Amino acid sequence: MDDAVDLLMTQWARERPDLDVWPMGIMGRISRLSRLLDRELKEFFAAHGLERWEFDVLATLRRSGPPYELTAGALNRAAMVTSGAITNRIDRMAARGLVERIPDSGDRRSIRVRLTGRGLALVDEVLEPHVANEARLLASLDPRERDHLAAALRTLLASLGDTTLG
């Protein structure tokens, strides 16, 4: 079964037979998959009254364990966005009562962002169906393919230096 990237590479083979465009077979697919999967996740979270970025923040705090708090800096490294974006996200989530800003006792430049009871309840409620939804999106791969795929992607990520969550 051909996908959109196969068509793209066929076009290049005809137009520029002098070039071997094999990297596009990976780069193009990661890019298109990312967009398609983002759309799916967006739709899923909308059905649960959440924006995707809201869930990302909630989940980052949740998986950090009690007391469910992280600095703003840790959150922006985890989300791979700039500090301005995180300030904005915290503002809006605090307004919704999902997180609260706590002054950091050890460093007055820092703030700690803490999950409220409501935020904790929400993320714990949505997490399982979210994972089930992700599994549905990946259902075309059998378990062996999944493992190989995850391993190859890990190799790539690590080679690009993505080894910490901040």
Partner DNA sequence: GTTGATAATCTCAACGTTGAAATAACAGCA
Partner DNA sequence: TGCTGTTATTTCAACGTTGAGATTATCAAC
47 binds, among DNA, its own copies, none (CB under 5 to 8 A by kind): none
Q: What is the dihedral of CA 89, 95, 96, 101, to 10 degrees?
A: 70
Q: How far is the CB of 70 from DNA (least distance, A)?
A: 8
- Nearer to its own copies among residue 37 and residue 46 (C-beta): 37
Instruction: Write down the H helix ranges in 47-116.
Output: 52-63, 72-79, 83-95
- The interaxial angle of helices 52-63 and 117-137, nearest 10 deg, is 110
Burial category of 144 from C-beta neighbours within 10 Å (exposed 0-12, middle 13-18, buried 19 and up): exposed
By CB under 7 A, name the binding residues for DNA.
Answer: 51, 53, 71-74, 76, 81-90, 92, 101, 104, 107-111
Number of residues in the chain: 166
116 binds, among its own copies, DNA, none (CB under 5 to 8 A by kind): none
- Interface residues for its own copies in 42-71 (CB under 8 A)? 62-65
- Which residues contact its own copies by CB under 8 A? 1-8, 11-12, 14-16, 19-27, 29-38, 40, 62-65, 80, 127-128, 131, 134-135, 137-141, 145-146, 148-150, 152-160, 162-165
